Amino acid sequence: MSDYRQGLEQRDIAPYHPLEEDGWKIIEGKPEQSVRIDHGSFEAGPLVAIRQCTPGVIEMESMAFNEFVTIFSGECRGQAR
């Protein structure tokens, strides 16, 4: 069982495909994502995963599903369209 408590080092997070493949636009920097999937899949859900991204600014497209996110470091700014 994975332990997601803040402050604990998360291991086995691997590089993942470029953000542009998800339809996201890079605005600033060269952000690269890494993912560790602990349960489920993107196709079948529900998905439990750890996602990391190097610094940068991206514009995200709307997603066809709901997502619950806990940010341990950094920030996220939302803007309704």
The domain locations on the chain are: 1-74
Q: What's the rounded mean pLDDT across residues 60-68?
A: 71
**Are 34 and 14 a contacting pair, CB within 8 Å?**
yes
Q: Residue 30: pLDDT band by 50, 70, 90 thresholds?
A: very high
What does the pLDDT read at residue 16?
A: 94
What does the pLDDT read at residue 80?
A: 54
**Mean of pLDDT over the chain:** 83
Is residue 38 scored above 80 in pLDDT? yes
> CB count, 10 Å around CB of 19?
19
Q: How far apart are CA 25 and CA 28, in angstroms?
A: 9
Q: What's the rounded mean pLDDT across residues 26-48?
A: 88
What does the pLDDT read at residue 79?
A: 63
